[in-house]
Amino acid sequence: MSDKLLIRALKGERTRPTPFWLMRQAGRYLPEYREIRAKARNFLDFCASPGLTVEATLQPLRRYNMDAAILFSDILVVPHALGQEVSFQEGEGPKLKALCGKDDIARLSIEQFHERLEPSYETLRQLVFAIPESTALIGFAGAPWTVATYMIEGGSSKEFVKAKGWAYRQTADLERLIDLLTEMTAEYLLMQIAAGAEVIQLFDSWAGVLPEEEFRKWSIRPARKIVERLRARCPKVPIIGFPKGAGALYEAYVKETGVDAVSLDSTVPLSWAAKTLQPHAALQGNLDNVLLLAGGEAMERETKRIINILGEGGFVFNLGHGILQQTPPEHVARLADIIREAG
Ligand code: 1CP
């Protein structure tokens, strides 16, 4: 087994120091990212340029020496690789040509799937040699439900009326789409592991909008299938699940998907998580990203409280959701010091 700190913690070992990385640790809050981002015409082109994505991945490591590097890409490269039109409008977020039903699903194609994702694989192959020896390399994908919401809604959403509408009234269509995404996401992640990813994170950012029965169908079941596929081929690679907003359903997610670790959003109570979840999976999380933006005493107190309560078992310090663009880089430096000083 790898002796990298992050991997030991994800396998359930209580480690000192506490390993840490931060969701969206690369990106717009860093001036050096904004500088290289300007070299690509648009965000998808940026993601398809290993010369830029390798550099973007390394930038936060140079400043803060996190215990993990995460592939610089986006969850929406998967719909693009399946032939759906995807674009990122400056300041507006992602736009996709929304799927309407089974005919649109039938038009998706796996023919160019790996070819279109080749820049991600190349980025990982280069990162294996570019990151420090003690740093673990994380690959990732969006979970099928979260990716499906963008494909059905045509972009970001607040109420998920269309995607949940499919769950209730076009169930067969949603099943077909989720099955396709489950299959192709597993393939994508296996290729990332072959290219050098040592840990996988599955981002189910919108799992929390699903009621219990729907959560089991569209979040737990696909995650379990992906875990099974990866385990069968790569039993040593730890898998982190992130069913953001799942509340009390975190317990079913951990027990029924078989993930090695689970990433907690900021609303999950710490002592409940330590007692209910940590016997079954390592924990990752869960500082409020707005508290990192705010900084100061409150951030210091909460960081120590998280480490005290969750640090008794397998634990990786992280945020409850990605770094916000307005976050001062000095606050991230201070956070890294507090985590290291905590021992
Ligand atoms: O031009 C730019 O810089 C665009 C901003 C940006 C960046 C830096 C987007 C657009 N994506 C990313 C990178 C990214 N996305 C990473 C790698 C960086 C890192 O972690 O260091 C990762 C892991 C993601 C994953 C991602 N993309 C998620 C899951 C995690 C989460 O935050 O919940 C989701 C939901 C997306 C969709 C997405 N990508 C970008 C935007 C604006 C959005 C929409 C978000 C929304 O609907 O609220």
Would residue 312 count as lying in a domain?
A: no
Q: What is the pTM of this model?
A: 0.97
- What pLDDT score was predicted for residue 90? 83
Ligand 1 pocket, 28 CB below 6 A?
Answer: yes
Taking the centre of ligand 1 as the mean of its atom positions, its distance from the CA of residue 129, in whole angstroms, is 25
Would residue 8 count as lying in a domain?
A: no
Taking the centre of ligand 1 as the mean of its atom positions, its distance from the CA of residue 93, in whole angstroms, is 9
- What pLDDT score was predicted for residue 265? 98
- Please report the DSSP string for 208-240 in residue order: GGS-HHHHIIIIIHHHHHHHHHHHHH-TTS-EE
Task: Indicate if 169 belongs to the active site.
Answer: no
- Name which of 277, 271, 284 is nearest 316 in CA terms: 284
Q: How many domains does the chain have?
A: 1
Measured CA to CA in angstroms, residue 179 lies from 156, 212, 295 at distances of 22, 20, 42
- The answer to whether 307 and 338 are in contact (CB under 8 A) is no
Measured CA to CA in angstroms, residue 331 lies from 48, 270, 289, 311 at distances of 30, 23, 11, 22
Would residue 318 count as lying in a domain?
A: no
- What pLDDT score was predicted for residue 343? 76
- The answer to whether 145 and 204 are in contact (CB under 8 A) is yes
- The answer to whether 93 and 46 are in contact (CB under 8 A) is no
What single letter denotes the amino acid at residue 330? E
Report the DSSP beta bridge partners of residue 155: 95
What single letter denotes the amino acid at residue 133? E
Catalytic residue among 29, 33, 64, 74: 74
- What pLDDT score was predicted for residue 76? 98
Would residue 255 count as lying in a domain?
A: yes
Assign 59 to helix, strand or coil: helix
Give the rounded distance of the alpha carbon of 125 from its chain centre: 19
The strand pair at 86-89 and 282-287 is best described as: unpaired
Would residue 314 count as lying in a domain?
A: no
The strand pair at 282-287 and 239-243 is best described as: unpaired
- The answer to whether 191 and 230 are in contact (CB under 8 A) is no
Residue nearest (by alpha carbon) to ligand 1 atom 14: 74
* All residues at 6 or more sequence positions from 337 whose CB lies less than 8 Å from its CB, including other chains: none
Would residue 291 count as lying in a domain?
A: no
Q: Which domain holds residue 168?
A: 20-282
Assign 262 to helix, strand or coil: strand
Task: Indicate if 150 belongs to the active site.
Answer: yes
The CA distance from 108 to 105, in Å, is 5
Q: What is the pLDDT along the chain (343 residues), one digit of tens a residue?
A: 689 999 999 999 999 999 999 999 999 999 999 999 999 999 999 999 999 999 999 999 999 999 999 999 999 999 999 999 999 988 889 999 999 999 999 999 999 999 999 999 999 999 999 999 999 999 999 999 999 999 999 999 999 999 999 999 999 999 999 999 999 999 999 999 999 999 999 999 999 999 999 999 999 999 999 999 999 999 999 999 999 999 999 999 999 999 999 999 999 999 999 999 999 999 999 999 999 999 999 999 999 999 999 999 999 999 999 999 999 999 999 999 999 999 7
Would residue 328 count as lying in a domain?
A: no
- What pLDDT score was predicted for residue 251? 98
CATH of the domain at 163: 3.20.20.210
- What pLDDT score was predicted for residue 1? 61
Count the Cβ atoms, other than its own, within 10 Å of residue 67: 23
Catalytic residue among 150, 188, 250, 253: 150
- What pLDDT score was predicted for residue 2? 81
Pocket test for ligand 1, best of 36, 74, 202 (most atoms within 8 A of CB): 74
- The answer to whether 65 and 334 are in contact (CB under 8 A) is no
The CA distance from 251 to 276, in Å, is 7
Would residue 146 count as lying in a domain?
A: yes
The strand pair at 68-70 and 93-96 is best described as: unpaired
